[in-house]
A and B are shown apart, each in its own frame.
Chain A
Amino acid sequence: MDFQSCVNIKKEWDIVGARQLGRDIAKKIGFGTVDQARIATAISELARNIYLYAGTGKVCFEAIEDINERGLRIVAMDEGPGIRDVSQVMEDGFSTSGGLGAGLPGVKRLMDDFDVISRQGEGTEVRVVKWLR
């Protein structure tokens, strides 16, 4: 897929860059303050996962606009070790980030659509969408 806007994640500081770009696009699409904050938090989680578990990767943004709906798609990809047991990672309370209600279940709650594809040894791709209501 061809994305116009991507942020490479290599160091912790890049998480801030990803948040900033994501928030700008969200604002342009017309998301309100609460949704902007939620989108930014989801981006943080996705980017931090890349930084912590894969080392490097990227977070890409795409404004979705068709006749009926508008929204923001975010895709986080890396070529890290992959997730061994996705179901387990999606369980509440499993998150290694200290059970602060975040992790991938948190991202799922913050966004509307959520999908994750992970292959061990090949990498992980998380695709999420927030729709403008």
Chain B
Amino acid sequence: MSTLKMDLSSYKDLLKQYIETQNEQALYRAEQFSKHSIQQNISPDEIVDVHVQALSELYPDIPENIMNSMNFLLETMISYGLAYQEYQALREKQFELQSEISVAANMQDTLLSTTKPNVEGLDIGVTSHPAKQMSGDYYHFVQDQKGSVGIAVADVIGKGIPAALCMSMIKYSMDSFPDEQMYPSSILEGMNRVVERNVDPSMFITMFYGLYDQASNHFYYSSAGHEPGFYYSAKNDEFSEIEAKGLVLGVDRSATYKQYETLVEQGDMIVLLTDGVTECRAGERFIEREEISDVIHQYKHLPAQEITEQVYQHFERLQDFQLRDDFTMVIIRRDV
């Protein structure tokens, strides 16, 4: 209010200038005045009040009915002023929420952090990006003493905070399994029971679990309705789908998961992903799965980590840098 009172004389001068010259300069200054007033949280009724005061000082013999009409105008502005203040308060609240979410996102990063294992003969790359601040994608590596590597990739259908909360639960359940060699089918069966007990039926979680046995170069895997990955055969220089059937987690308590196995030859790649990758859209069109394998093929001479990053950058650009869903890709290549 004090700022406004200070501005009364400048408003009066401005108004006088405009009434006398009607030039654009005065109107430009009026624009500046209103922007400044907004910054000072001055509501429309106060502006009308300043106008009325300036008017009566400039034209002391202004007709009474005109002055009355100005007071009428002021009265109609009161509710606008209230709505404006409410808007300001809600905006502050929104900033608060946003900063809370970014704290939560940081916590999630810490919570879900996993170390990419360093295994001789295996080149592993991973890239994961949330569509919003918090991710509903999850990936996790486990390494046992014999050098076998377990890889979990999961996706909560949905994104944002509900998906992120759900993901934390997955993380804790995974931690409760022993690190020692666990077969994919038994891990998924265990997870299925946890999810069935703890998660709202409207929430779906898909999961892929793979175990790479370094001694025999066998890859064992099972899938709970998860987006199929790709298998790259170096010998034939071609990609095929990693087919694995299984019910999404949490639907049927007694679901069992079939375990598959394959021999990984030198130079072969296992590509695991979430549907944020396959459901990328170029304009209105969903991309074809071949487009993903084509892009991987294009970069296959690079280290696994760089391939995943290149693929991400490719599809990020294709979608005008606005991810629609969380994006996670893991590549495991047998080097030796």
Contacts and interface: CB of A to CB of B under 8 A. Distances in A.
A78 B1 CA distance: 34
A33 interface: yes
Contacts of B287: none
Contact of A105 (B49, B78, B84, B86): B86
B119 interface: no
B252 to A, nearest CB: 40
Given A101-B84, A101-B86, A37 B79 contact: no
Nearest to B77: A37
A84 interface: no
Interface in B63-82: 71, 74-75, 78-79, 82
Contact of A41 (B79, B84, B89): B79
Interface residues of A, number: 17
A106 B83 CA distance: 8
Contacts of B85: 101, 109
A12 interface: no
Given A38-B45, A109-B85, A109-B86, 12 more contacts: A33-B49, A34-B46, A37-B71, A37-B74, A37-B75, A41-B78, A100-B79, A100-B82, A100-B83, A101-B82, A105-B86, A106-B82
Interface of B: 1, 45-46, 49, 52, 71, 74-75, 78-79, 82-87, 89-90, 93
Give 9 nearest A-B pairs by CB, closest first.
A101-B83, A101-B82, A101-B86, A34-B49, A106-B82, A41-B78, A37-B75, A37-B78, A92-B86
30 contacts: A32-B49, A33-B49, A33-B71, A33-B74, A34-B46, A34-B49, A34-B74, A37-B71, A37-B74, A37-B78, A38-B45, A38-B78, A40-B78, A41-B78, A92-B86, A92-B89, A92-B90, A92-B93, A100-B79, A100-B83, A101-B82, A101-B83, A101-B84, A102-B82, A105-B86, A106-B82, A109-B82, A109-B85, A109-B86, A110-B82
